Structure 1
Amino acid sequence: MIGRQLGGRYEILERVGGGGMAIVYKGLDILLHRHVAVKILRQQYVHDEEFIQRFRREAQAAASLSHPNVVSIYDVGQEDDVHYIVMEYIEGTTLNDRIKEKAPLQVEEAVHIAGQICDALDHAHHNQIIHRDIKPHNILIGKNGRVKVTDFGIARAVTSSTITQTGSVVGSVHYFSPEHAKGTTTGEQSDLYSLGIVMYQMLTGRLPFLGESPISVALKHLQEDVEEPRKVNPLIPQSVENIILRAMRKSTAERYRSAKEMLGDLESCLQPHRRGEPKVSFFDDDDMDEERTRVMPAIRPGQYEISAVEDDEPPKPAASENPPEKKKGGWVKPVMWLLVLAVMVGGMWYLVRYVQAVTTAPEDVMVPDLRGRPVAEARQTLESLGLGVDIEPQSSTEVPKETVILQDKANMKIRKDSRVKLTVSTGPPPQKMPDLKKLKLADAKTKLLQLGIKAENIKTDDMVMDEEPGLVLTQTPAANAEFTDPAATQVTLGVSKGPETIPMPNLIGLSENEAKNKILVNKLKIAKDGVSYQPNYKLSQGKVISQFPYQPDEVVAPGTEISLTVSSGLPKEAGQMAVNVPVRPAKEGAVSTVKIILTDASRESVEYQTLTGVDKLQTFQVNVVVSPEQNASIQIKADNTVIDVITVTYEDFKNHGKSGKPFTPGTGTGAGTAEPGGAAGSTTAPSGTTGTGGNGTGTGGTGAAKPGTETPAAGTQEPAGTSGNTTGTGGQNP
């Protein structure tokens, strides 16, 4: 369940608690970005339609409550077979934990907590909602000390639909009202009875009624009077004890009529004039009935003997002048009877004192309350007191294994050598592992979490299979295997990750043999007739130009076929030629580092050569490749400053490069030479030539002569020149 989203809004973060009916998780409301508590109905109840309807109806009714001492209910929903309630999340602890840690509580603290609970009940009762399950487990205490009552509605649904189920009775039987225990209609005063028990437990540290079984506890609610709290804890004021005794009266007529009335009593009970008030007394209506059946003492034989004799005696004779003498010694017999009676009373008094002395002798020991302790510790404690121990095992989903659930004698004095029966948890009853195969991984994990198996104990193994990714294929333990301790159960799920895939390797730029080896290593295949050849300017002969149909890093399955295109070298029309490049320092007489940067049909801005220590003009040979669409550009940098750029065209290749001899380009400046079309201006002519164009005079540039040509004589016209009078001065070869 952890990690799952409910309603597309509530993300489950962690488990924070659980009971017999539901599991509580901490969640995040993604829409409002706040933490919430999500209570999810246990799986065993999701198919009881009547229960689900009542559960939803009661939860919705509780959502109508708005009070600072009531946990707010935000939402109620269902997703598949998951029924959930979204509530306010309280950072703090429960009253049950507070009692275990600090009981008995200070009187002021207990009264303050009870007052807030009473205020919450008053609000609920005014909205026609009866809680029916008031107990410390359902009382939350925030970090700020505010008390919050929770579980409105759910308890009512539980008791109305599952009253015969053992789990629901055990959960709250110690806090039942008498009418609740009898199964009759419960009302507002039933909640007040339960609140009285909560106050009793807060102030004494123990429950008023204990028994060997839930039924015996329920009967004590009906038949036995509670031990007065002040006898257990003399620090309790009489006014507070009066509130507890009145709230816990078995007759609803003698309890508080409403939570508001009880709240008023709580608010004033600690005032000085009330602390020492008289103990409350209760009278039944039939105490004043003279016609009621009474217990009368039996009439003993001879009780009325004297009067009877006197009635039967004949009339006394008249008094004579000489009355008869009184009989002597008439006092002896009464004195003897008095002595006998005194001896009997003395003997009885001695016997009573002897019995009291025997019953209160040092052989009597106080039996502590051992519930919740490990059985080994409980056994050692009882045996150290001279008591025998009887163990009765009982499975439990709430109490950890080897822990005491109940004991038949607690918080009372018994004679040594007596035996105490301990009911000990054997842990949860065995459960069967569900069949998780063919389920999605998320659904399988949800089922396991609902069984109480911890998320960290669920492991997964990825399996390469021709199945849908994320599908559970194997499980350990197997389906229907029994397990008793969900928290310690380890589960391993084999999950399909789908067919095996690999990334397509990058084969471009590799040699043909390297590419074929890489294909085999990666479990791929070369398609039939999958290698083709074509010329290429950029990649040398034998290098892979492209791969088809899968590009590098695309995901493919093993055995996938691929085709390669391999370079067969430069195209036929490619022009390869050597070019003589003049190299000189940046400044005359200085020493420079010269870099030659080449861009041609097969390269782009490549640092062709770096020359150091250049101190004079010299020539360096550069091999270039040109094409009909791409010229060659040779950039010369001296000390990172561009001092010359030489362009070699495809025409230069056709005119000079096919001879196989190095080509030496040159530069020249025509002064006052007209551009084609007769416009006056200046033009740069090829090195060693004169400017051509309209009428004008040009001066030939100084530079290297073209390969295969001689230095032109003055006044010589290049073939590219047009008609006109032109005078030129031949260039000088370096």
Structure 2
Amino acid sequence: MPCPWQTARKLTPVDTTVADPLVGRLLDGRYRVESRIARGGMAAVYLALDIRLDRTVALKVMHRSLAEDPDFVRRFIGEAKSVASLSHPNVVHVFDQGTDGDHVYLSMEYVPGRTLRDVLRERERLPAREALEIMIPVLAALGAAHQAGMVHRDVKPENVLLTDDGRVKVVDFGLARAIEAGNQTRTGVMIGTIAYMSPEQVTAGVADARSDVYAAGVMLFELLTGHQPYQGDNPMSVAYRHVHDRVPPPSSLVRSSPPLLDTLVRSATDRDPNHRPADATALLVAAVDAHRMLPRDMGPQRPPTGSAAGAPLAAHQMGAPPAHPTLIHSATEMLTAPALAPPPEAGPKVAGFRPNWFIVALAVVMIAAIAGTGWWFSEGRYSKVPDLLGMKTSVAKLEAEKQGFSVKIGQAENDDKLAEGKVLRTDPESGREVVNGASITLIPSAGPVKISVPNVVNLSEADARAKISDAGLSTGAVSRVPSDTVQRGLVLRTSPQVGTKVTKSKRVELVLSAGQLMPDVSEMQCDQAEAFLRQKGYNPTVVQQVDNAQPGTVIAQSPAARAEVTAGQAVQLTCSKGPNTGFRWPWENPDNVQPGQTLVAIPDVRFKNVADAMRELRAAGFRVRVRKIAGAGAVVAENPLGQAPAGTRITIWH
């Protein structure tokens, strides 16, 4: 069976000698991967069974380099949602999109058959009628997408599938946009797509429905001739020719190609997008007309040019509507009626002959009507609404007014992708033909919808998550910090703060209370520790114990430091009485002071700012150790106090 899939990125048939780790795996808990169909530079395609719906699907799995780009993944998901809403018999349906670890995938309709590229490799080129019979459903699919506001951006034979039962399907809508937006452009991608890229895509990187029309025209040229219009040693040389050359008529390569299709290709591939059909639907109408007028037998002889039947079609292909056939027929009859025929040069003048002035006048009026109708529908009376999307509103207004339009600014609308103040859409839409000087309404983007962070302070984590979700936001990281005022497990604060307006994509982080934790007052002077704890709402008691530690300092506490406690809880402090031997600290006994040492008064820095306290102690010649007690902002305790030799370490608590 021929390879059923080729993707937009030159997928190649699978090499069955290479093991694929995805084959046999249940992806996302739903899709059992059965075999790899093809692999290319951007994705691999697998045949899989949707075990939930018991149907065969094609899974397109993006390569890891794309899946690691968060911007690509975000845009890929958005594009997949848009394409999934597009229902048309000539579009490969997108069923689902998802991620499984580092695998980003699309679940699509499985279409057994071949690509149009496979057909061209086999047959080189197609007869005119058969080429149009393939292009017509392709244009119908593109036209449906254009009507829905989508642009394919990568129309080429690799993205056209021909099923075993003769149907034509277009694949890969939106993938090119996601790849371009994710900064994933590669040399291989440019080589694969540059042959069908419109001049405006090359020069400005912008694409709209008319860019798809250009690519469709190039593809029709290739179907008719077996060659792409431009060849070059590198992508840049091909791109240059797209911008500066005109696609030649197919008949210049294949003499049997009819003039009708020369006109169709010339109209679709005009370098100026304003001179192309406005979208694929407009080109579809012209293609259907051309197919209807092609003779059944397209032998080697070319149809005569300039025929009465061909003239209206050529005008239509170039964008001007044909004159009404009834008017043409009536005017021709009148101008060739016997009453208006000139008399023979020889022979007697017929007695009593008078010209039928009524018929003459009527003929003149009808000719004028035809001319007037042609002018009324001609391009001279109408202009196309310029493409202003994405411009700053003020710049777009000036540009439209410069082209002669009257401009109004409409009510701004929210959009998740477009920044505030830029043109989101126009009414009428860009590319639409309107009377010269018509009014255009610019609808600016108000940027993404912003939501106020709800007040979830003092709520449990579960209740806070529910309230944040109800507001249209999602919860981010959760952390815990001690608190003397908020019960354990309740929300202390959020980040961003309550009331801050954020976009839907912003996650709200929760900071929960870890409850009251017992402060660490070890080594603090007992009287200071007792006063501090009473201030914090505890009920301390003090016991004395003989110990080699400095007399009057805390050597133990119960509950232990950082244990979870409640307000009013009893706390026992064990304080040192000093050793039984009458031990005294060196600075408490002048006889024990080392030679050259002098006692220095220790500054009392309690209740001062920590930085100021450290600066004052160091200025007095002491070393400083700082210990933090949760909830205290200034110095609450100091040890030792009094006097000590210079260089002694002083501990402060804050």
TM-score, normalisation: structure 2: 0.42
TM-score, normalisation: structure 1: 0.37
Bigger Rg, which one? 1
Q: Which has the higher helix share?
A: 2
Higher RCO structure (Cα 8 Å, ≥6 apart): 2
